[in-house]
Amino acid sequence: MTTTFFCEYKPGLEGIPAAKSSISHVDGQKGILEYRGINIEELTKKGSFLETAYLLIWDRLPTKEELKQFETNILYHRRIKYRIRDMMKCFPETGHPMDALQTSAAALGLFYSRRALDDPEYIRKAVVRLLAKIPTMVAAFHQMRKGNDPIQPNDELDYAANFLYMLTERKPDPLAARIFDVCLTLHAEHTINASTFSAMVTASTLTDPYAVIASAVGTLAGPLHGGANEEVLLMLEEIGSIENVRPYVEKCIANKQKIMGFGHRVYKVKDPRATILQDLVKQLFGETGQDPYYDIAVELERVVEENFGHKGIYPNVDFYSGLVYRKLGIPDDLFTPIFAIARVAGWLAHWKEQLAVNRIFRPTQVYTGVHNAPYIPIEER
């Protein structure tokens, strides 16, 4: 029997549209990223992360009252049940925070198990619970792996400031909190990448939203997706000084080794998120003192552009984000969980969009195996 395929097989589905979406748009030639049509630069300058989450999920900017209500609802749901905390206490302290997050996110489904996907109130509550509890779970695991009790959310602090507080037990200064809020906005959504696609496939089975988010977290955890910003910091440490930048790049060229934090499948110019993050680094370091790694990073960008600009290799979102996070006192292995905290907004937006037009994902395959193979009795193998 011959099977008809409607398009050419593309490894990694490169260039194959898997959905129609109005959530975000990337123009890789012009270096533009829009959420619901609004330019990311404008959103980071004028909006907040929760306002952005509302925009992504409900397809419009909230009114003042709607935003206030949304923030209050999230504040109210920040705490996690003691049973979830006790479960997390049993996790090995050497475990990766992304594994802890995936397990805890899935566990939420045990506690909020009613599945009423056609009920807008159920959808609203699930959105609020997930946005509210994911940061608490990341911070709780971080405290517990150090042998501490989790730090309770602080009702005086907004979303970003509260997360930094739960990590350090210190109220962050307003600039640090604002910069962290911008980082969350920058990572909130980026069309159909691997983790978002994973969320959509899981959503298409009409399972609960906690399973959807747990599935996306598991996908984000892989080194080909989240995590390049940790590598950037290791690379800057290895380079060590401005004088070593050029020899380092020459060594990478000679060894055909990728330079971390550069290049992107879609952007062929500087990633607009990298430009915004670089600006944040300058603001942050201006307030708290210079950082030698920032100077190395700027020189590296210059030398990489000189050598790879003609190929469209420029800094991506990961190049400057690690520098920001480290300056905010965040441990390196929490960079990817922070990516997840932000991306929950985008995943939930795609979950909602998928439900509205749902058809279960069931792609086809190109079978490369044999037919009519004999069953060989075990004694004869």
Tell me the torsion sign for CA atoms 250, 302, 292, 281. negative
Residue in the shown chain whose Cβ atom is closest to ligand ACO:
263
Helix (H, G, I), strand (E, B) or coil at 24: strand
3-state secondary structure 273-295: HHHHHHHHHHHHHHHHCCCHHHH
Residue 222 is given by DSSP the state S
Choosing from 181, 208, 271, 318, which is the catalytic residue?
Answer: 318
| Spatial separation of the C-alpha atoms in residues 345 and 113, rounded to whole Å | 21
- Catalytic pick among 181, 264, 271, 350: 264
| Closest CB to ligand ACO among residues 135, 226 | 226
* Residue span 217-256 as binding mask against ligand ACO, x where in contact by CB under 6 A, dash where not: --------x--x----------------------------
Non-local CB neighbours of 284 within 8 Å, separated by 6+ positions: 175, 176, 179, 324, 327, 328
- Distance in Å, CB of 255 to ligand ACO, minimum: 11
Both tokens of residue 253?
């060229």
* Distance in angstroms (rounded) separating the CA atoms of residues 317 and 379: 57
- How many angstroms separate the first and last alpha carbons of the chain? 30
Residue 318 within binding range of ligand ACO, rule CB under 6 A: yes
Is the CB of 171 or the CB of 225 nearer to ligand ACO? 225
291 is a catalytic site residue: no
Minimum Å gap between C-beta 308 and ligand ACO is 6
Q: Which of 50, 131, 184, 317 binds ligand ACO (CB under 6 A)?
A: 317
264 in catalytic set: yes
Q: Tell which positions 283-312 bind ligand ACO, by CB under 6 A.
A: 308, 311
- Report the site for ligand ACO in 257-286 (rule: CB under 6 A): 258-265
Residue 361 tokens, joined: 């994902």
- Residues lying near ligand ACO in the complex (CB under 6 A): 225, 228, 258-265, 308, 311, 313, 316-318
Catalytically active residues are 264, 318
